[in-house]
């Protein structure tokens, strides 16, 4: 049981660290204030471009 809890804590800490890193990168690139609608629009556009290229 103790090992399971340790693995869960490890995974949680890595997840939190990854979110902090992603937030820092977003701030550096000036995209940290994007709304969910803007993010989804970017994803749609990228997918459309990828489909058109294939």
Rounded distance between C-alpha atoms, residue 14 and residue 20, angstroms: 10
Range of the domain at 16: 2-53
Total domains present in the chain: 1
Please state the pTM of the whole predicted model: 0.56
- Residue 6: its pLDDT value, please? 83
- Residue 5: its pLDDT value, please? 66
Kindly provide the b/e burial profile for residues 1-32, where b requires at least 16 CB atoms within 10 angstroms of the residue's own CB: eeeeeeeeeeeeeeeeeeeeeeeeeeeeeeee
Residue range 1-54, pLDDT digits in tens: 566 668 788 888 899 999 999 999 999 999 999 999 999 999 999 999 999 998
Rounded distance between C-alpha atoms, residue 8 and residue 14, angstroms: 10
């Amino acid at each position: 049981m103790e090992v399971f809890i340790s693995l869960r804590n490890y995974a949680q800490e890595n997840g939190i660290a990854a979110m902090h890193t992603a937030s820092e990168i977003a701030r550096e690139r000036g995209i940290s204030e994007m709304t969910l609608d803007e993010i989804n629009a970017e994803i749609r556009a990228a997918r459309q471009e990828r489909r058109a290229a294939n």
